[in-house]
Structures are given as C-alpha cells and as structure tokens.
Amino acid sequence: MNEFLSFNELLALSLPGLPPSLSGFAKKAKAEGWRSNPALFCKAEGREGGGGFKYHVSLLPKEARDRLNFISTDTSEADTKAVKVRKNALWARFNKLSKDHKAICEARLKVLRRVEELVRDRSIRREAAVAMATFDAGVQKSAYYEWRKMTEGLDPEDHLAALAPDFAGNDGTAPDLLECHPKAWEALMSDYLRPEKPAFSVCYRRVVSAAKKKGWAPIPSERTLRRRMEAHVGKAALLLKREGKDKARSLIPAQRRSRAHFHAMEAVNMDGHKIDVFVDVPWSKKPVRFYLIGIQDLFSGLILSHRLAEAETWEAVRLVIGGMVERHGIPETMYIDNGKAFASKWISGDAVRRFRFKVKPEDPRGLLTTLGIQVHFTRPYAGQSKPIERAWRDLAELISKHPFCSGAYTGNKPDAKPENYMTRAIPYEDFRRHVAEQIEEHNNQEGRRAENCRGRSFQQTFEASMNAPSTIVRVPTAAQSSLWLLASEAITTKKGSGEIHYQGNRYWNVALNQHAGTKVVIRFDPDALHAPVKVYDLKNRLICEAKCIENTGFDNVDDARMHARAVKNHIKAVQQVADAHATLTAQQLGEIYYRGDKPKAAEPEKIRPTVTRLVTSGNLALAPTPATADAISEQHFETLFSRALGIVQANGVIEFPSGNAPVSTASGVPAEPKSSAYGSGKKKGGKPAQ
C-alpha cells in the first residue's frame, strides 16, 4: 500500500471522515497542520491537484485508515505477517524496559493524545495544538513530530510500545559495543574466569600489557569490556567458573518435596553437627568440641535419638541407631550421606549402591542391613535431601548461644569469635545434661509451621501419628536387642582355648572351644569393656556370651585355688558330657558286635619266604649250636646246676659271657670263676672284708 496520497487520490477513494471536495481537503489540511511536519508530506511528481503535495496516511482519521487498509489491493500475506512480527517485537522490547523507561513511554503517548484531543474537541489547528501540548509537557515541538513518526503505520493500541526510548540494550539484546581483538578477548575471559577469582581491573591491565607486546588492536576501555563480559558470558557461567558448582546450583530454585505421605517411623534421616562450645573432659588437658549425632523422623521432625562424640565415628553412629530402635522401633527407610562413619561396613555393609571402601568376602553385614532398613545415600551438605540440617541450625542457636555456655562459645567461623572467647569450658557431664534439655525443648516447642505439624509441636505430631490405626512400626526381638552394640573388626580367636583378646582384656566361654583359631565378631558396650561381650560368627549368628577374664596377683593363693577349682569343675563337666555320649563299655560293644557268640582265637598263619637263605655269619655266642638247638643233655644240666649252686653258696658272682667266648670250656667242664672284689670276700687292696 502507498503510504503517501494526494487530495485527488483521497477524494477518489471516498474514505469515511474526509471532506467530499478538494476545497474541503485543503481546509482540513490547513486546520490540522498536515504540512507542519516535513516527514509527513512530500512534493508530488508533476502537477497534481491539491497543490502538488502528497500526505502520509497517518494524518487521516482512524476510520479512514481502517477503510483504506481494508480496500488496499496490494496488501499481501507477507505484509500482514511482517506487521505482526513488528508488533510482537515492539511489545517484547517494551516488557523488558525498566519502570522508569516505561514511564517515559507513557509520557510521550500522553503528548500525542493531547494533540489529537485539542484538534478534535476544540477545533484548534494542529500546529497550535502541538505548541500547547509540548509546552505543557516541557518538550520541544520537534520531539512531537519524532514520536509521531515512531507510531506511523501502527494501530493506536501499539503506540505505547512503539514510543520506547532507543537506549542501548532496551530491546533485550546486547548493546552495540566496540570491537575487541579476538586474542585479547580470549585472554581476558580465560584470566577472569578462574577459581582464584582475580579482579577484573587486574586482568584488564595484564591484557593491555600483553596487547602492546603482541600488537593486538583494537582494545576497548575497561568499562566497555566489562559490559561485554556481563552480556556475553552471563551470571551463571561466571558463578560456575569463579565460585564453583554449588554456587551455580543456587541459581536454580530448590526442589520442594512433600513428606505428608509418610507416617511416623516410616522414614528417618541421620547426620552429625559440630557444636561450637568448648567442653572440659577428664581425658584431655585441653577443652574439646563435640559432635552431636542424631536421627530425625521425616514425618514429624522429631529428634528420635542423639549422642555426643569427639568425632563422627561408626561406633557413635551405631549407638545412636540403637537408641532409636530401643525407644521407638525399627524404621523402614533411612537417609544418610556417604561419609566414612555412615557408610562404614559396620553400619551399611552389604547395602546396595554402597560406593565406599573395599568390599571383602569376610566383611560382616551392616547393622542397617541386618535390621532390614532400606538405606538411601545422599549428597553431603545438602539441606534439601536431609531436613535434619535445618534442625541443626535451630539447635545451634539453642545450645551454643545459651547463657549457660557464655564464655565457652567458639563462634560459627574463625572470624566470628566473641569477645569472651575461651574464657571458660563447660564440664562434660553438665554439657551432656544441657544438650539433652535443649533437644527436649526443641521437640516440644509448639507452633510449628511444618506441613504435617499445623501448629503442633514435633512431639505431638509424632505421637498422633504413632497412635493412628494405620501406623505399623516394627519392634526389635530379643535376638535383635544386641545388634546395635559396638562390633569390633573380625577377631581371630586363640588356638586351643578359643579365648578372645581385645583392648587389653581377655574374654572366654566354653562354647569358644569349637571356634578356636577362627574369626569371630564381638559386640560390646564401649563404656563397659569389663562386662560380658556377645560373640557372633561372620554371618551374625550368636555363638555365646563371653565373660571378661580378670588378671590376678602372682602370689594370690585364693585366686589360684579358685582357678584350679574352676578348671577341675570344667573338666568334670566335660567328662560328664563325654560319658553322657559314650554310654556303652568296650565289653558291651564286643557283645553287640559278635551278637552273643564267643569269638574263636585265630592262629596266625605262618608266612615263609619263597627262597630259604642260610645264615653264614653273625654272633656265634648267641646262635644256637646243633647239640643244644633242640634239647640239653641231663648230665650237662646237672653240671651247670651244681656249678651255679656252688657259686651262690660261696657268695660269688656268676660271670657273664665276655665277647664271643662261652663261659664253659670246650669239653663242657665249667671254668673256675674269676676272683673279684665282691666274690672273694676281700676289699679292694687285698684286705679281708670286715
């Protein structure tokens, strides 16, 4: 559509709101000041009616413009789409303006509408109306014509968006900035986006210094490059590179998770918090700071159990879990972080997705796994995943900043120490009592605004849910009552007796004889190491309860007598057990085996070699002679017997054979006995015996 039309063309179109003659057009144009703005008229080519000028269609009344747009034959679908795109762009830019810039648009539109009202209602010439409106607004006449040009070809409802000031960046895009050398810009971004968080001014000076040496040009001013950094990089990337991932996550709204679908003791979460108070303990000369380890019910927010410990250890975690189970029961689910104390094999061993420590075949099952509690590991320092983090903030205010701890408060960070820093330390027993009282107050404080509390306290909310008929909580059995006692590493029992040595103490039970030299697990109370300990195998099966064996004095006769008596009684008991099992004697077994028949003695069969070998050498004195091999003669027997009898009567000594020579002679007559100190009746030296 042609935007400039002459009087003749307008008269031929017969548009509503326009005079029906050329003279009427001339009077209307003069009255409304159609030629007051050079941008709204132009000289026509050739001589045409109406003084040879063409006027912009924006000078026409609204009804004339609407009819002109309707009857325009050259309006295509592409033009309509372009107008729509322009309108959307104008309003998108307007919505991004600041409050002050939107006020400028409203002031400009007010001037345009004031001019139209003066021309229409008071029949004032447009030039006079422009003068009056601009004078009242305190602007120049040229400003009016400029704003009128900005609204050309637009509907009145779009004039407000079209009058936006043309400031850099008002359209939501980056303002046009001076060019910068690519190498210099790359060096500036790499230097500024470092974890050390250097100042932008320092980075800019380094880049300028390097640009002089390397001939990088152009280099804009520092302010220009700072605006470019903010426009092109963005706040999220700046936080990620300079502050870290945690800061970058803060730009995304936190997830709000409902806990209304739980009931009491269905799901709990556990964590530890270091208390900012100095405590005086008997085992250390210097005051120490304790960790408060606790378990919170997710439905009500109640602190179920707690314990003070010098460090977050699996021993303390196990005792806290035991306190919860003894008082309230066994939960179905527990949320803990992946710290060393909570992900220890003694706590969550054999759990699914336990990504910590090396898994060994002899590792025992964890306490939570044994109790059938489903474990969910969360990110450390994540308040959204562990609501107990919110409770720690309240308890830090109640415990650490209480008047009772005045002078012992350390401050929550190194640069926040109070003036009375470390002027006193709280005694250990008094501090334990103080912590217990403040946790009790925290649980019973009314007016809680949590989702499930609705003005009640945590304790009231917990009790109401526990008393509901639909709440089912598992209760530990007698066999499970000792599972949360502290468990040591797999200990190898001593060979022989099977006694257990731990922390300088010895534990023993007769049942350990069956497990001598094998690995077992003991469960104990760390505050009572001299009490009996429970002994389990690696599959958490109870073996026995072993008592502590105390040391005795070396010269303590009573203890020695009692020990000997205990050993005697033990052997007697073992003998009774053995006799109870072996009830049949050997004779009874023989009768059972032979079924009452007398056994016949079986003569051993002679076994002879296949080849007989003659003896050709050996001790001839011991070998039998052919004459005496079968029988001795009667004469020879009497001779030998007389000789022996004579020797006995003479108090002599029968001489043993010497070497291979026989005692008797070859003829068979016995030889005379040799004299000796004992056979002759004389002492050594030839003197007769007294």
The vertex-322 CA angle with 522 and 528, nearest 5°, equals 50
Please tell me the predicted confidence (pLDDT) of residue 658: 59
Locate tokens 């309509």: which residue? Answer: 80
What's the rounded mean pLDDT across residues 117-123? 77
Q: β-pairing, 519-524 with 491-492? A: antiparallel
Please give the pLDDT value at position 80.
67
Given a contact cutoff of 8 angstroms between Cβ atoms, the answer to whether 317 and 347 are in contact is yes
Range 417-438 average pLDDT? 93
- Tell me the mean pLDDT in the region 432-460: 94
Question: What angle, rounded to 10 degrees, do the helices at 428-444 and 458-466 form?
Answer: 70
| CA–CA distance, 366 with 347 (Å, rounded to integer) | 4
Query: What pLDDT is attached to residue 583?
Result: 66
Q: How confident is the model at residue 631 (pLDDT cuts 50, 70, 90)?
A: low
pLDDT beyond 70 at 554: no
pLDDT value, residue 681: 44
Per-residue buried b or exposed e for 239-259, using 16+ beta carbons within 10 Å of the residue's own CB: bbbbeeeeebeeeeeeeeeeb
Beta bridge partners of 272: 293
Over 60: is that where the pLDDT of 664 sits? no
At 659, is the pLDDT very low, low, confident or very high (cuts 50, 70, 90)?
Answer: low
- pLDDT category at 324 given cuts 50, 70, 90 is very high
What is the pLDDT at residue 465?
94
pLDDT for 162 equals: 87
Answer for the pair 366, 483: CB distance below 8 angstroms, yes or no: no
| CA 81 to the chain's CA centroid | 57
Element (H, E) at 492: strand 491-492
Q: Which residue has the higher pLDDT, 11 or 576?
A: 11
In eight-state DSSP terms, residue 57 is G
Residue 345's pLDDT is what? 74
Cα 566 to Cα 402: distance, rounded to the nearest angstrom? 57
What pTM does this model have?
A: 0.52
pLDDT > 70 in the chain, percent = 72
Residues 6+ apart with CB under 8 A from 334: 267, 268, 269, 270, 295, 368, 373, 374, 375, 376
Q: What is the C-alpha separation between 143 and 23, in angstroms, rounded?
A: 31
Give the pLDDT band of residue 334 (cuts 50, 70, 90): very high
Mean pLDDT estimate for the chain: 78
Task: Say if CB 678 and CB 653 are below 8 A apart.
Answer: yes
Tens digit of each residue's pLDDT (9 = 90 or more) over 44-84: 765 444 457 888 888 888 777 777 776 665 555 656 677 77
The one-letter amino acid at 190: S
pLDDT at 654 over 60: no
Average pLDDT over residues 445-474: 93
Is the pLDDT confidence value at 393 over 50?
yes
Task: Report the percentage of the chain scoring pLDDT > 90.
Answer: 25
How far apart are the C-alpha atoms of 324 and 373, rounded to whole Å?
13
The mean per-residue pLDDT over the stretch 188-212 comes to 93
Q: Residue 1 pLDDT > 80, yes or no?
A: no
What pLDDT is attached to residue 358? Answer: 61
> Residue range 566-572: average pLDDT?
66
Which amino acid, 175? P
- Per-residue pLDDT, 239: 86
Question: What pLDDT, in 10s, does the model give residues 134-166?
Answer: 998 899 989 988 898 888 877 788 888 888 887
